[in-house]
Structure 1
Amino acid sequence: MSNDIAYPVFRTPDPALALSTARRLMEFGRCEYSEVSVYAELPSLAEVRRVAKELPEGWFRGQETYGEFDGVPLEDQPVLVVGVQGPGLPADPAAYEGRLPVEYGLLELPVGSIEDAFMAAVGPNTGEINWEGLWWPDAPEVGFHGESKHAEVTLLFNTSTRHLDEPADDHTVLVHVRSASFDGRQMREPYAHWLAEQVGLRVIGPGQRS
């Protein structure tokens, strides 16, 4: 089993520029199997309702406390906890008490089908667009074979970390490669540098593990 590590290669307060830059990197590795997923954390009922109006096809899921529904049949659990698409969201504000932030997601869609709409809808919330199923080419000049399993590009909105736990006023593009550590040193980091350079970017910070 292997893991990935993601390196920041671009950062800007302009979401449209961040998206176009991420797409440039993604297109370098895009293939017929490539897919895109989106995710956001919505901290208020107002934001849940706004995003549901703009992107109703997504799935919304509220928080639950550990063990809260142990032994409770799935059909008896609140729809907001199980997960529901926009049109099925509860109308009663009381249904959201203790359930915020609400998570929003759409997974494994065709590339190009959701990115612009999500960028417009994410607003001030933390979130991400993730392209996977890419194919990074061989880089013989730096001694690396290509790879597909960990070939991904992520665009982070309003945060600089993959865990979305550090709010920021800008947006960050990450390039993913396979993690291969020896004596605390990432042996495939030069490959991330090479990938960034192919589209006019550069690594601007340390790698981030999932």
Structure 2
Amino acid sequence: MSNDVAYPVFRTPDPVLALSTARRLMEFGRCEYSEVSAYAEFSSVAEVRRVAKAMPGGWFRGASELEEFEGVPFEDQPPFVVGVPAADLPAEADAFEGRLPVEWGVGDQPVGSIEDAFTAAIGPNMGEINWVSLQWPDAPEAGFHGESKHAEVTLLFNTHTRYSHELADDHTILVHVRSVIIDGHQRREPYAHWLAAQVGLTVIGPAQEN
């Protein structure tokens, strides 16, 4: 079993520039089976409804506490907590009480199918686009073989780190490589630097572990 590690390579307040730059890095490793997913969190009912109109695909899921449904069979849990498409979002505002932030996600889509619409719709909300199943090439001059299992690019909107709930006013691109820690050091960090350099970028911050 192995994990990935991600390095920030670009940051900008311009979401369109962030997307075009992330695509440049993604295209460097894109292959025929590459896919894209997207995820977002919405802290208001108004934002949920706005994005549901702009991005009707994917599923919305209201927040819940673990103890709420302990012992409750999955099929008996409220649909909004399990996950519903945009068309099945609750019509009543009070159905959102205690269910914010609402998560939205869509996965395993063809590259190029959702990225522009998502970037236009995300607004001030935290979210991400994640391209997976890429193929990083060999870097013999740097002493690294290629990578496929952990070859990914992530574009974070309005936050700086993965798995963070801290808002930021700009957007960050991450390049992912395999995590190899020896004597407390990431041995494949130079590979991340090499990958970024191939498309005119540079690592701008510390590793983000999975």
| Aligned residue number for residue 7 of structure 1 | 7
The Cα of 1:70 is off from its aligned counterpart by: 2.3
| Aligned residue number for residue 149 of structure 1 | 149
SS where residue 68 of structure 2 aligns?
A: coil
| Aligned residue number for residue 124 of structure 2 | 124
CA distance in structure 2 between the aligned counterparts of 1:24 and 1:164, rounded to whole angstroms: 25
SS where residue 103 of structure 1 aligns?
A: strand
SS where residue 194 of structure 1 aligns?
A: helix
CA distance in structure 2 between the aligned counterparts of 1:164 and 1:14, rounded to whole angstroms: 20
SS where residue 113 of structure 2 aligns?
A: coil
The Cα of 1:166 is off from its aligned counterpart by: 1.9
The Cα of 1:34 is off from its aligned counterpart by: 0.2
| Aligned residue number for residue 194 of structure 2 | 194
TM-score w.r.t. length of structure 1: 0.98
Alignment of 1:36-185 (within 5 A): 36-185=36-185
The Cα of 1:164 is off from its aligned counterpart by: 3.1
Query: 1:7·1:203 contact (CA, 8 Å) conserved in 2?
Result: yes
SS where residue 53 of structure 2 aligns?
A: helix
Task: Give the residue type in structure 2 aligned to 1:4.
Answer: D
CA distance in structure 2 between the aligned counterparts of 1:163 and 1:77, rounded to whole angstroms: 26
Query: 1:126·1:164 contact (CA, 8 Å) conserved in 2?
Result: no
Task: Give the residue type in structure 1 aligned to 2:24.
Answer: R
Once the two structures are overlaid, the 10-residue window that deviates more, 62-71 or 52-61, is 62-71
CA distance in structure 1 between the aligned counterparts of 2:206 and 2:71, rounded to whole angstroms: 43
Question: Which deviations, in whole Å up to 9, do the C-alpha atoms of 1:137-171 show, x marking residues without a partner?
Answer: 00000000001000000000000011132211100
Once the two structures are overlaid, the 10-residue window that deviates more, 189-198 or 69-78, is 69-78
- How many pairs were matched up? 210
Root-mean-square deviation (Å): 0.8
Task: Give the residue type in structure 2 aligned to 1:204.
Answer: I
Question: Which deviations, in whole Å up to 9, do the C-alpha atoms of 1:48-89 show, x marking residues without a partner?
Answer: 111111111120001111121123233332111010000100
Q: Which runs of 5+ in 1 are unaligned?
A: none
| Aligned residue number for residue 29 of structure 1 | 29
CA distance in structure 1 between the aligned counterparts of 2:75 and 2:127, rounded to whole angstroms: 29
Deviant stretches of 4+, over 4 Å: none
Query: 1:134·1:151 contact (CA, 8 Å) conserved in 2?
Result: yes
